[in-house]
Chain A
Amino acid sequence: MPTRWLARLAVAAAGLLNLSAAPAGPDLGVILAATPAPKLSDYRLFHAGAADPALTPYALNTPLFSDYAEKLRYVWLPPKTKASYRADGVFDFPVGATLVKTFAFPADFRRPDQDVRWIETRLLIRKADGWTAFAYVWDAERKDAVLKRAGARVDVSFVDLKGQTRRVDYAVPNQNQCKECHQLDKTLTPIGPKARNLNGDFAYATGARNQLAHWTKAGLLAGAPAPSAAPRTARWDDAREPLEARARAYLDANCAHCHQPRAIASNSGLFLNSEEPPGPNLGIGKSPVAAGRGSGGLLVSIDPGHPERSILVHRMASSEPGVMMPELGRSLVHDEGVELIRQYVASLKP
């Protein structure tokens, strides 16, 4: 039977080709499998502790604070697919889209490129019926990372910019906790890759370029306008930008994944998303509802002009479970973030 013989030859040739192609690139079959792979290496997103070249790195103008962890973000889309641009909210990603985020700590933040320890890599995968989220915890040699569905605690220590040693009781979230933050109307969703948070420059290997422009040019994104016509979130740590824009960007990134009308803390009536107009629901003059001891004996979320009388600042400045906000994702206080919100509350007119 000549046809069968030919087919066999084709398969063998394909196998040879496959072997010679190095590295092999992400495995869409594993990415879209019904159950998560037990090891991160199964996805072929990383090879020998480095990201596959098919992954595109990206950064957010204002990210969530996670105990000072450095976050290495990548997007991967199946060949010949694109995300569709949206001015508001997260882009519409194609099935198979994978968002990859590695949490890492340099031993000494004064030398951020040396002795970098990878703690975990989180995957957000767009399946046919929606997004799923998984966390993989790296071994000490950065050879591979294993699936941790129920969460984990990792001891981390680093030297901060001031030369002080900091210890972190780092929490890898359990699978439900991923969703607690990553949800809108009870459906799991990414948070970061929105036009306004990507509308900034990234230092690619080939040079710095606006990310929206780069994604469009690289064939990852369809329908985006010129960056100047797209919305843009302020950088929280760029002192040249207006205080209010920086503070609202920080609150949006650090609080609004829960504190907005369509997410898990909706019942608090405290909405810190950037669309919320100033008023009681932004916390101004608002009494707590279910804060319990989180109130710290203070009467309102935001007392304009008075950060020392504002529950919002009090809870950001705490590292005690049951008091601190956000309640997931950090164990340290973000001193610089607290200072920004202090200045913002102090600037509000009573």
Chain B
Amino acid sequence: MTRLALMATVALCVAGAAQAKTLAVAPGADAQERLQTALLDAKPGDVVEIAAGRYELTDGLSLDVDDVTVKGAGPDRTVLSFKGQKGAGEGLLITSDKVTVRDLAVEDTRGDGLKSKGSDEISFINVRVEWTGGPKETNGAYGVYPVSSSNVLIDKVVVRGASDAGIYVGQSKNIVVKRSRAEFNVAGIEIENSYNADVFDNDATRNTGGILVFDLPNLPQMGGHSHRIYNNRIVRNDTPNFAPKGNIVASVPVGTGVMVMANKNVHVFGNEIDGNQSTGVMLVSYTQKFDDKTYNPLPRDVVVRDNRIGKNGYDPKFAGAEILAKAVGGTIPPVMWDGVTAHPQNPDVVRVNLKDGPVLNLRLKGPGQLMTADPTVTPTSGDAVIAEPEKVVLPKRQADLAD
């Protein structure tokens, strides 16, 4: 090869690597094919830019290229409607790393809204996912749904109408959910079987339950731990539970502010918790039958402190609530714990530090054993010193996306 040809080749390679391009998609005929083709053609560094307008889509979209931004003109201007969806389990499925979805809306998907599976550095920013017919059992399960992912950023998203959880982070690691709004879902925000989540500055309102931190058995990732739920507004969660039976959230009583089920090291502080008719903060064991020797069904190392707690528990809707409320003076105290401290599969000392109160401790002998209840109400409960998990730090490039 001549020296000139060699130089030309080198120049091409360099240009190829550095040249991020924008793939523009506009509304109109064949939007499904054009949009999906752009998602297939994108190369690392590219932006798929979806112009303002309404896109009537008939099939799920998917992205499997690393380092791509999918960007609309704003969550009220670029609307991907899946009302006529005929197939696939979600609106947009992301299976690659370093992907950002921002400034658009996804409406009326038949299954989930925006999902990532197995993605690293996945960001959902300034998006809206909504089922426009209001809360219905036939709505899709999850709005924004990263699962088996790591370095998850959810910022300024709005989700309405999910028949399971509006914002659901499952089996993931290193998670930030902030400045978002979840309303009219069964669960507003749910962190499940995950490690290290910071959930702050969110509004969880008009759901069945505001913010849930769960751990479930028989899954590839279990042993959820180290979460900070702080400075959120968890107010008036009053939508009757509309989850299809069988799903774990179908057991969430209407008017639950925060619910911690199983998990270790969960800190709930600085939140406004008000107008939740069943209870403000609930700590419970997993009560269903399970066959999994590695699963720990108890919540432990839980801290509840410095929350602004308003009027909660005034019309509780869980099993046995009426009798219980009567026994403790008419209302359910704002913090409630099932009080289970021993289980054959729990090797830990169950510690709590429930500074906010009064605290209702049911003192159950085992998960769900309501007949063994020996309720007691105390101003606070437990004084264990439980170190707060460290702040979740995302890769700088990703953290910088949240302006």
Whether B216 contacts A177 by the Cβ 8 Å rule is no
B289 to chain A, nearest CB (A): 7
Q: Chain A at the B interface: mostly helix, strand, loop or mixed?
A: loop
B94 to chain A, nearest CB (A): 10
Alpha-carbon distance A288/B216, docked complex (angstroms): 10
Least CB separation from B34: chain A residue: A150
Q: Known: A267-B220, A286-B218, A299-B246. Is A176-B63 also a contact (CB below 8 A)?
A: yes
Cβ contact of A291, chosen from B138, B247, B290, cutoff 8 A:
B247
Alpha-carbon distance A252/B100, docked complex (angstroms): 35
Chain A residues 251-299 with CB under 8 Å of chain B are 261, 264, 266-267, 269, 279-281, 285-299
Whether B291 contacts A280 by the Cβ 8 Å rule is yes
Cβ contact of A266, chosen from B36, B148, B164, cutoff 8 A:
B148
Whether A150 contacts B289 by the Cβ 8 Å rule is no
Chain A residues 292-342 with CB under 8 Å of chain B are 292-300, 311, 320-322, 327-328, 331
Cβ contact of B220, chosen from A266, A285, A290, A331, cutoff 8 A:
A266
Whether A293 contacts B33 by the Cβ 8 Å rule is no
Q: Known: A153-B86, A331-B87. Is A311-B246 also a contact (CB below 8 A)?
A: yes
The answer to whether A180 has its CB under 8 Å from any CB of chain B is yes
**Segment of B139-147, B299-307, B337-345 engaged in the interface with chain A:** B139-147
Whether B36 contacts A151 by the Cβ 8 Å rule is yes
Which residues in B have their C-beta under 8 angstroms from that of A321? 85-89, 110-111
Q: Known: A171-B87, A291-B247, A292-B140. Is A180-B171 also a contact (CB below 8 A)?
A: no
Which residues in A have their C-beta under 8 angstroms from that of B210? none
The answer to whether B248 has its CB under 8 Å from any CB of chain A is yes
The answer to whether A179 has its CB under 8 Å from any CB of chain B is yes
Alpha-carbon distance A225/B168, docked complex (angstroms): 49
Contact mask A108-127 → B, CB, 8 Å, 1/0?
00000000000000000000
Whether B117 contacts A267 by the Cβ 8 Å rule is yes
Alpha-carbon distance A176/B90, docked complex (angstroms): 14
Contact mask B75-102 → A, CB, 8 Å, 1/0?
0000000000111110001010000000
The answer to whether B67 has its CB under 8 Å from any CB of chain A is no
Cβ contact of B37, chosen from A150, A285, A290, A291, cutoff 8 A:
A150
Which residues in A have their C-beta under 8 angstroms from that of B117? 264, 267
Most buried by A among B64, B112, B170, B288: B64
Alpha-carbon distance A287/B85, docked complex (angstroms): 27
A292 to chain B, nearest CB (A): 2
Alpha-carbon distance A311/B248, docked complex (angstroms): 14
Which residues in A have their C-beta under 8 angstroms from that of B36? 149-151, 174
Alpha-carbon distance A4/B118, docked complex (angstroms): 58
Which residues in B have their C-beta under 8 angstroms from that of A180? 62, 93, 95
Which residues in A have their C-beta under 8 angstroms from that of B220? 261, 266-267, 269
Chain A interfacial residues counted at CB < 8 A:
45
Whether A296 contacts B244 by the Cβ 8 Å rule is yes
Whether A293 contacts B163 by the Cβ 8 Å rule is yes
The answer to whether B328 has its CB under 8 Å from any CB of chain A is no
Q: Known: A153-B86, A327-B89, A328-B87. Is A292-B218 also a contact (CB below 8 A)?
A: no
B195 to chain A, nearest CB (A): 15
Which residues in B have their C-beta under 8 angstroms from that of A176? 39-40, 62-64, 93, 95
Whether A288 contacts B86 by the Cβ 8 Å rule is no
A96 to chain B, nearest CB (A): 24
Chain B interfacial residues counted at CB < 8 A:
54
The answer to whether B58 has its CB under 8 Å from any CB of chain A is yes
Which residues in A have their C-beta under 8 angstroms from that of B62? 174, 176-177, 180
B41 to chain A, nearest CB (A): 8
Which residues in A have their C-beta under 8 angstroms from that of B219? 267, 269, 289
Cβ contact of B164, chosen from A261, A286, A292, cutoff 8 A:
A292
B166 to chain A, nearest CB (A): 12
Which residues in A have their C-beta under 8 angstroms from that of B33? 150-152
Whether A175 contacts B40 by the Cβ 8 Å rule is yes
Least CB separation from A279: chain B residue: B291
Chain B residues 205-239 with CB under 8 Å of chain A are 216-220
Whether A322 contacts B86 by the Cβ 8 Å rule is no
Alpha-carbon distance A171/B88, docked complex (angstroms): 10
Whether B40 contacts A290 by the Cβ 8 Å rule is no
Cβ contact of A171, chosen from B86, B142, B163, B218, cutoff 8 A:
B86
B220 to chain A, nearest CB (A): 6
Whether B170 contacts A174 by the Cβ 8 Å rule is no
Whether A290 contacts B141 by the Cβ 8 Å rule is yes
Alpha-carbon distance A179/B36, docked complex (angstroms): 14
Alpha-carbon distance A174/B145, docked complex (angstroms): 22
Which residues in B have their C-beta under 8 angstroms from that of A320? 110
Whether A297 contacts B59 by the Cβ 8 Å rule is no
Alpha-carbon distance A279/B33, docked complex (angstroms): 42
Whether A328 contacts B218 by the Cβ 8 Å rule is no
Whether B170 contacts A287 by the Cβ 8 Å rule is no
Cβ contact of A169, chosen from B86, B95, B142, B288, cutoff 8 A:
B86
Which residues in B have their C-beta under 8 angstroms from that of A290? 112, 141-142, 145, 147, 164, 168, 170
Alpha-carbon distance A281/B216, docked complex (angstroms): 13
The answer to whether B292 has its CB under 8 Å from any CB of chain A is yes
Whether A285 contacts B289 by the Cβ 8 Å rule is yes
Q: Known: A285-B289, A287-B248. Is A149-B37 also a contact (CB below 8 A)?
A: yes
Known: A288-B247, A290-B147. 4 other contacts (CB 8 A): A176-B93, A285-B291, A292-B112, A331-B86
A-B contact pairs, 19 of them (CB 8 A): A149-B37, A151-B59, A171-B59, A174-B36, A266-B220, A267-B171, A279-B291, A280-B292, A290-B168, A291-B247, A293-B137, A294-B111, A294-B141, A299-B246, A321-B88, A322-B89, A327-B87, A327-B88, A327-B89
Q: Give B residues with C-beta under 8 Å from A.
A: 32-34, 36-37, 39-40, 58-59, 62-64, 85-89, 93, 95, 109-112, 117-118, 137-142, 145, 147-148, 163-164, 168, 170-171, 216-220, 244-248, 288-292
